[in-house]
Amino acid sequence: MTHISSALPFALAAALALPAAAQEIDPADWDAVSDAADGQTVYWHAWGGDTATNDFIAWVGEQVDAEYGVTLEHVKLSDTGDAVTRVLSEKQAGQDEDGAVDLIWINGPNFASMKEAELLFGPFAEELPNWQYVDVEGKTVQTDFTVPTDGLEAPWAMAQVVFMYDTADMEGPLASSEAILEWASANPGRFTYPQPPDFLGSTFLKQTLIELTDDNDTLATPVEEADFQEVTAPLWDYLDALTPNLWRQGRAYPASGPAQIQLLADNEIDLAVSFSPNEASRNIAQNQLPDTIRTFVLEDGTLGNASFVAIPYNSGSKAGAMVVANYLMSPEAQARAQDPEVLGYNTVLAMDKLSEEQRAAFDALDLGIATLSPEELGTVQPEPHPSWMTRITEEWIERYGVVQ
């Protein structure tokens, strides 16, 4: 039997008395992380509004269970802010250990607020084994809506705005927001977007603002440092003209991206917005959209960003959460996520950092008839500072919001 000397400092004695799960694990010591993760349950709070995404998360759970003994429970969210509020409430209540949230699918304003409130564990992301494959040079994986990630979140998917259209009803791509307005005016009722604060609806607002404003440098700074009304005036003028020509004359909106897709499938609209270049092909492959659907981007490029996972400071399963975050960045998981028949998310990895065998899995993917090539996707416009998304969403609700 081992005894702790009374001369041993109390802090060390207390640390030794803690169960392994309660002790901080060094992310750089992967063997220790793996050992500590075995037997842990990770509650991953993630958007649950898409069947394909839910199925992919379930598949990830099967892999980390088989390889690491980690049980993954998907807590399905309609609003990521609910998980952020839960962690904040726990901190205010002094619950600094074994919180309800172990991992969050997060980015943008939610990450900024958690980082500012010191609600996150880390840095950990850049210490994970699979970080070696991440495309640090070519993708926005170390900033999140202009906010440095500082290793507090791990990237797992890339997104970029594309527009889906039905070639049976439209002649071809539209070059700009002004061209969309002109087309919508000539074809009233055939375009819509999800109702903000749905993230896709708010993303459409940001995309339009970026294109219409001549002051994109201002958008990279906090909204409080700018003349909000002056910078956003072109957006509201544009929406004032567009809204009467939307589906149901802008008196109702689809509640989510999938609801908008259903309108496209039902031929109620001809044009829709997406934040996944592969989404159209995925839905065609799953017989949820007709094979006449195609995608386009605007001539000046479209908005893009990364999806991340972060670990709350008071998670009781930090090792298990790191195992999940690391697996999400693995070539195996990334190739599966990019398959349009599975998920259709663009990868965060750099192909030149992979082995020939790992690259082959990506090369073998049939990205589908509606998916643009990397060259066709063109310029990726950077996200504004997260405060802009919050502020323009609030303003949109005040000006155009409807009760569903």
CB contact at 8 A, 385 and 145:
yes
CA 158, CA 136: separation in Å to the nearest integer?
Answer: 12
Task: Assign 170 a pLDDT band (cuts: 50, 70, 90).
Answer: very high
Q: Could you give the CA distance from residue 54 to residue 84 in angstroms, rounded to a whole number?
A: 20
Q: Which of 7-21, 73-87, 208-222 has the lowest mean pLDDT?
A: 7-21
Give residue 207's pLDDT.
96
What confidence tens digit (pLDDT) does each residue in 16-71 have? Answer: 333 333 457 899 999 999 999 999 999 999 999 889 899 999 999 999 999 999 99
* The Cα angle at residue 265 between residues 262 and 269, in degrees rounded to 5: 85
Query: What pairing do the DSSP bridges indicate for beta strands 103-106 and 302-310?
Result: antiparallel
pLDDT tens sequence across 373-387:
877 888 788 899 989
Specify whether the CB–CB gap between 166 and 311 falls below 8 A: no
Residue-wise pLDDT for 262-290, tens only, equals 999 999 999 999 999 999 998 998 899 99
What percentage of the chain has pLDDT greater than the value 70?
A: 94
Domains and CATH numbers, the chain: 22-156+306-367 (3.40.190.10), 160-304+378-400 (3.40.190.10)
pTM beyond 0.85: the answer is no
Model pLDDT, residue 354:
96
Specify the residue for token string 């030794």: 16
Does pLDDT of 7 surpass 70? no
Would you say 139 and 345 are in contact if contact means Cβ atoms under 8 Å apart? no
